[in-house]
Structure 1
C-alpha cells in the first residue's frame, strides 16, 4: 500500500495547481455558511480533548495558512496544527550539512499567533522511498554505526533544541512497520546495525532532549480487511519498546480510513470492528496513549453522487469514531486537511474510476461544511470527558 498511498511530496504540492478546478465543485455554494457551525476544537476542548489539522506553508492556492479561506477553517475548528510536509527530512534536510527551517517556522508562527498548539511530524520517516535521496546514497565511512548514530542524533537534537518549549508532542518515528509485519530497512538502519537499534536511539535521544514531551510512534494500520499483518507488526513493535524500556508514550493512529469496496446494503464499506477493538485494547493495556493523527476518508469505491457519497463518508466516519472515542486514552484528533480540494488523496492511486475528486474532508472545495463535519461534531459532543 505504501508505494501508492503517497505518490511523493512533489505530487502533493502539485495538487495546488489544480485545486480550484471544476472537478471539485460542490452541489451547494455556501460561502460563509461555516461561520454558524460548531467549532470542532471547542467541542473537543469541552471534553478535555483537542481537534486540529495538517497545514502547509505553500502559496495562497493551496492548503496553506496563506490561503485566507483555508486559514479561516483552521481558525474556526482547530486548536492544534501539524505541518503536512515541512518537518519531514525531505523538506527540512536538503543535504547532510544544512537545515531549511523557514517553511516550518512560518507554520509555527501562524499557530502561535492564533493560540494553537503544534505537533512535530516527524523526526524520522523510516521508509527508503520517503527519505531524502542523499541519505539513501550516503557514505557512512569506515565506522558506519557511529556515523549513522551521529546523523540521527544531530538531526533530532537540532530540531528539538530549536523548538524547545514550543512543541510538546512529536511523531518521533513514522511508519517503520511494513504491511507484512516486518520492519522497514533503509541505508541508515543498515549502517547502524538494524531497525530496532535505529528506532530505539531515536526515542532515547528525543527523551533526553525533552523529558516532559509526548513521544509518539505513528503508523497507518487500520480497521479495513487486509490490515491484519500490519496491526500485528505494530503490536510486536510496541511490545518490544516496553520490553527494552524504550521511552514511547503513545501510538499515533493515522486513521486514513478507506472505502475500497462498496456495500449497497450498508451504504459504506467493510470493516473489522471487533478485531480493531482488540488491537486498541492491546495497545492501551501496554499503557500507551493513542492519538488520531491524520484523519480522512478515502471514498474511492462509493458511487459518484455527491449527496449520497457525503452521507456514506459521514456514516463510515461516525462508526469509526464511535469506536475510537470509547478510549479515554484518546485526547488529540487531527484531520489530514480540512478541505477536499487540497487533500493529498486527490493524488493517491487508485483514483476514482469516474474521474471525480474524492470527498475526504470535513469541508467541500467552496469551504462549505459537509455531513462529515456534522458527524464529527456529534461524536465529540457525545464523547465522555477525558
Structure 2
C-alpha cells in the first residue's frame, strides 16, 4: 500500500484541479462530482441526510446549500435518523412516516437511489422507551414475533422497490465481549440470535428485491480485535443457519489513533484489517461502506495540517476498501462539517469543529474531498 504524505496530497490536489477531476461545488463549475467519478468505475458514492423545515440550517434536503452538495456529489442517500424506531414508531400502535416520505420524494425527484437505515438498532439506549418497557403479556415470544414482524413488514411493504437496500440489523455485537446485545424484545423473543435471524427472514419476504445488510462499527484501529471476532462469529452463524444476509455494512467511522503519520498508522493496521475483510468476503458477503467519516479529535488545531492528515488517512483507508471487488457503494455520514454528528460525540478539546467530512462548514471542499475523488477515480473497475 502506498504511504501518503502531505506533499503528495497537495500535489495530487493541484493535478486534479488542473484536469477537472475534482473541484469545489461552486455555481458554474462543470467538474464531475464524486458520484460521477465513482460511476466511471462501476461504483456509487452517497451520504446520509436529514429532514428539515424549508430553508432550515440543517444537513437536510430542505437546506438549499446542503441539497446542492447532495445533488452534485451523490448517487444514493440514506436517512440519518428518520427511519429508526424512535422516529417512525412513536408508540406500539402508531407509525409516522411523514418525514421519511418527504425525504424519499425529494430523492426521487433528483433521481437519487435510497437505502433504508435501520430496521432494528440493537443498542438499548437507541430503542424507544416504550419498547424497552413493553409488556409482552402471557406469551412473550409470540408477541415479540408479532411486534418485530409488523414493524419490518410495514416499512418494507410501504416503500417497495423505492428503497433498494436495508440495514436490517444495526450494531448487535458487544465490542467488549463479542457476544450479542440483549434487550427487552430479544429476551422476549427467546434470545438475540433467534430474533436477528427472524428480522432478516421477514425483511427478505417483505422486500425480496433489496440488498439486506448487517451494519456494524467494528473498525480497523487497534483495540477492535474482540469486536471484529464477534462480527465474524455472527456472520458465520448466518451462513450456517441460511439467514438471508447479503452484505456487511462497514460503518467506517475511523480515527487517527497512535503515534506516527497517517500512512504509518494505515500500514500498521492494514494486515489485520485485510484478514478480517478477507474472512468476510470468503463467506460470500458483499461489502458496503455505510457511514464513513474521520475523527480528528487528537490532531493539531492548525487547519491545514489537520486537513492534510485527515485526507491522507481517508485516502489510505479507501484504497484498501476499494481494492475489494465486493464493494460497490461508499457513503459518508454527512457531507459538511457543520452538521456532522462528530461535533456532538466526543468533541475536540479546543472547541473547533471536527473536520471529518468532504466539505467544511462554509460548504467548501477540503483536501479530503480531493482524496476521495482520487481514490474513486483510481479504483479497479467493477462489473455490472
Q: Given the two structures, how large is their TM-score scaled by the length of structure 1?
A: 0.89
Look up the SS of the partner of 1:123 in the other structure: strand
Q: Distance in 1 between matches of 2:364 and 2:163?
A: 31
Structure 2 counterpart SS, 1:173: strand
* Structure 1 residue 127 displacement after superposition: 1.0
Write out per-residue CA displacement over residues 274-293 of structure 1, whole angstroms, 9 at most, x where no aligned residue. 00000000000000000000
The counterpart of 2:66, out of the listed 60, 70, 77, is 70
Change (3 A) 1:280 1:211: same
Contact 1:261 1:301 in 2 (8 A): no
Distance in 2 (alpha carbons) for counterparts of 1:159 and 1:112? 18
- Cα deviation code 1:262-310 (max 9, x no counterpart): 5358587885210000000000000000000001000101101001100
Which residue number corresponds to residue 167 of structure 1? 163
Bigger mean CA offset, 260-269 vs 366-375: 260-269
> Is 2:272 the partner of 1:275?
yes
Which moves more between the two structures, 53-62 or 183-192?
53-62
- Which of 302, 318, 323 is the matching residue for 1:321? 318
Q: Which runs of 5+ in 2 are unaligned?
A: 1-23
1:284 to 281, 286, 291: 281
The secondary structure found in structure 1 opposite 2:29 is helix
Shift of the 133–32 alpha-carbon distance from structure 1 to 2, 3 Å rule, reads: same
Matched residues in 1 for 2:265 and 2:82: separation?
A: 34
Partner of 1:212: 209
Alignment RMSD (CA, Å): 1.6
1:88 corresponding residue in structure 2: 84
Alignment correspondent of 1:178: 174
Q: Is the 8 A contact 1:157 1:206 kept in 2?
A: yes
Structure 2 distance, partners of 1:339, 1:221, is 24
What is the Cα deviation at residue 261 of structure 1?
3.8
Aligned match of 2:49: 55
Q: Output the CA distance in 2 between the equivalents of 1:80 and 1:344.
A: 20
User: Hey, which bits of structure 1, 4+ residues long, moved more than 2 A?
Assistant: 30-38, 260-271
Written as runs of structure 1 = structure 2, the 5 A alignment for 1:285-304 is 285-304=282-301
The CA distance in 2 between the partners of 1:330 and 1:321, in whole Å, is 11
Distance change in 2, residues 1:281/1:160 (3 Å): same
Question: Could you tell me which of 231, 234, 243 is aligned with 1:234?
Answer: 231
* Per-residue CA distance 1:91-144 (angstroms, 9 max, x = gap): 111000011100001110111000000000001011111100000000000100
Structure 1: tracts of 5 or more residues without a match: 1-29
Corresponding residue pairs, total:
356
- The residue that corresponds to 1:108 in the other structure is 104
Distance 1:336 1:266 in 2: 23
State the partner residue of 1:98: 94
Cα drift, residue 163 of structure 1: 0.2
Aligned to 2:336: 339
3-state secondary structure, aligned to 1:359? coil
State how 1:103-182 maps to structure 2 within 5 Å. 103-180=99-176, 181-182=178-179
Structure 1 counterpart of 2:255, from 239, 249, 258: 258
SS at match of 2:162: coil
- Report the 3-state secondary structure (helix = DSSP H, G, I; strand = E; otherwise coil) of the residue aligned with 2:121: coil
Task: Say which SS state the counterpart of residue 334 (structure 1) adopts.
Answer: strand
Kept in 1, the 8 Å contact 2:116–2:163? The answer is: yes
Q: What are the within-5 Å matches in structure 2 for residues 20-39 of structure 1?
A: 32=26, 35-39=29-33
> In the alignment, what sits opposite 2:5?
none
Q: Cα–Cα, structure 1 residues 266 and 118, in superposed 2: closer, same or farther, change >3 Å?
A: closer
Q: Do the aligned residues in 1 keep the contact of 2:50 with 2:79 (CA within 8 Å)?
A: yes
Q: Is the 8 A contact 1:216 1:248 kept in 2?
A: yes
Q: In structure 2, how many angstroms separate the alpha carbons of the residues matched to 1:155 and 1:81?
A: 22
Q: 1:185 to 1:372 in 2, by over 3 A?
A: same
CA distance in 2, matches of 1:179, 1:120: 24
Mapped to 2, the partners of 1:286 and 1:131 lie a distance apart of: 30
Contact 2:78 2:115 in 1 (8 A): yes
Cα distance change, pair 267–223 in 1 and its aligned pair in 2 (3 A): closer
